[in-house]
Structure 1
Amino acid sequence: MNDITPAELKQRQAAGEKPIILDVRETWENEEARIEGSQNIPLGTLPDKISDLEELKDQEIIVHCKGGGRSASAKALLIQHGFSNVRNLLGGFGAYQQL
């Protein structure tokens, strides 16, 4: 599945959609500012939390971090564990905030 642009995500949210958004930034980053409805699991703890996400394996999951690097790693990890529909937020939270 292709990654998602901040504009596409904002359009979907404006239309009332509530996609599953996984914020892999550190907890302190999430506490400063966050995308409404996102779930925070820092990248370093993600391997230990994958089993908690098991019921989401076949659903679309949008992962994001500050700029896109950590979320790319998270996307690869989730796909490796059998998640079939993982999309990285291009440009990360920084790009999302600028819209």
Structure 2
Amino acid sequence: MKRWTFMSVIALSLALSACAGDPAPVPDQAPPTSGEQVEQPAKATVQDITPEEAKERLDSDEAIILVDVRTKEEFDSGHIEGAVLLPVDQIQKNAVDMFPDKDAVYFVYCRSGSRSGAATSMMVELGYQNVFDLGGIMDWPYEVVQ
């Protein structure tokens, strides 16, 4: 009886090893063809920018949209020249209408940097690709207009 058990184990082992070849492809997944690359869209991230870097870029011929996310009263009391007002609480509702180009470069600022952080995150979630957090106008060492 021991011999029969030993032979059964060997036969079973051979049968199982014969089935251990390459697994069949999963029907829902086509194997990639050689040379074919599947590109995943890169999700944008918020980038920080210093006032000095921002000023240099704003003074160049580069097309930049400067967004002030403070209240109208704060904006009227002084803002960076060329800035467009879009209060942070209106971004979800109005950003896409005001700024349809999601590939443009946006510099976003507020008073101290808190709202600009929230605003830039919202813009990235809305699909904007080149969003820079300039922080607060309190740290802007250059002239402002009223």
Q: Do these two structures clear the TM 0.5 threshold for a shared fold by scoring above it? A: yes
| Runs of 4+ that moved beyond 6 A | none
Paired position in structure 2 for 1:9? 54
Distance 1:85 1:13 in 2: 15
TM-score by length of 2: 0.61
Determine whether 1:95 maps to 2:95.
no
Instruction: Report matched runs for 1:67-86 at 5 Å.
Output: 67-86=112-131
Paired position in structure 1 for 2:72? 27
Determine whether 1:66 maps to 2:111.
yes
Deviation of 1:16 (Å) = 4.6
Distance 1:79 1:14 in 2: 25
TM-score by length of 1: 0.87
- Look at both structures and tell me which one has the larger radius of gyration over its CA atoms: 2
Listed as ranges, the gaps of 5+ residues in structure 1 are none
Sequence identity (%): 32
User: Secondary structure in 2 aligned to 1:67?
Assistant: coil
Listed as ranges, the gaps of 5+ residues in structure 2 are 1-45
Say whether the 8 Å CA contact 1:3–1:88 is kept in structure 2.
yes
